[in-house]
Amino acid sequence: MESTPPATMLRLGDEAPNFTARSTQGPISLSDYRGRWLVLFSHPADFTPVCTSEFVALAKAAGEFAALDCALMALSVDSLYSHLAWIRLIHDMFGVTVDFPIIEDPTLEIARAYGMIGCDAVDAAAVRTTYFLDPDGVLRASTCYPAEVGRSVDEMLRILTALQRVHRGSCLVPANWTPGDDLLRVPRASVAEIVKEKNAGDWFYTTIPDKGAA
């Protein structure tokens, strides 16, 4: 029996594949979001407890993402009408309105294009990836959680903020960084610059203040 070739994984630095799909906000294309940051996150099914908790948390934090000029977009293999019924239930149970679009992917076409699942996958159990796309539609970071463990919205916001800090290439983000903590200067790249440093290690490790998005 011939084996099915593995799906191509979307790698950091790749331009995310464009798509057009139905969503809870009407027909949308990924290219509609060029010019701003986008967090695209997927889930395997509607009406699941972990995903429900995530949608409640993300809906409540939508303003924080908007303040960072970042849109949210969800993907699920379920149908548009399933999405709408789920949103209504979330509204009735938790008093939260999910305003960001949820796109449908019943054929798993988008999930396969992004490498979330293998070409021979028979279900969507592995569709639990988050993609952080820059204003040019380029993948800058991704995370993948198992179905049993919910995403951390605080970590999503931290990753997004860190990516925005380093986007112009003027600084680096150290371990355990949170907004307001010191950043790292980009290492010096010439002998002339290195020998001018006061201390031997300053050329490659020097902290600088976090000046925010400026």
Residue 141 host element (H or E):
strand 139-144
Q: Which two three-digit tokens encode residue 19?
A: 């798509």
83, 90 Cβ separation under 8 angstroms:
no
- The span from the CA of 73 to the CA of 129, in Å, is 12
Structure tokens given for 154: 């605080």
CB 16 within 8 A of CB 133: yes
The answer to whether the CB of 184 falls within 8 A of the CB of 206 is yes
**CA pair distance 166, 160, nearest whole angstrom:** 10
Active-site choice (51, 70, 119, 144): 51
Q: For the chain, what is the total number of helices (H) and then of strands (E)? A: 6, 10
Judge whether 119 counts as a catalytic residue.
no
Phi-psi label, residue 137: left if phi above 0, alpha if psi -120 to 50, beta otherwise: left
Positions marked catalytic: 51
